[in-house]
Amino acid sequence: MLCEVCKDGFKESDVVVCTVPMVPYSARICRNCLKAGAIPYWIATANTDIAGGWDNCIEEWKDVVNDTLKHLNISMEQFLKDVEDAQE
């Protein structure tokens, strides 16, 4: 099985399935990603796009996205580009 955040494999006994904050979706997340508060990247970009872009997002969502970007080592510049690309 693969973690839906970092894409690393993990043992079946280490599977954590939890809801993604503020999104009606449950994801397989490894314990390291769960501890970091990271969510699947595609959800971060899609939900930000749906909200109308970064400037329209609530602070709680921005915190989740920032935790995800930090954990995955993705720049804000790249994230905003990916959100823009999601609109096309």
Domain regions of the chain by residue span: 12-86
CA distances from 23 to 40, 41, 55, 61, 78 (A): 11, 13, 18, 10, 22
The pLDDT of 18-46, averaged and rounded, is 94
**What predicted TM-score, i.e. pTM, was given to this entire model?**
0.90
CA 9 – CA 11 distance, rounded (Å): 7
Is the pLDDT score of 12 beyond 80? no
Residue 30 DSSP symbol:
-
Is the pLDDT score of 63 beyond 80? yes
Residue 56 DSSP symbol:
G
| 39's tokens | 């969510």
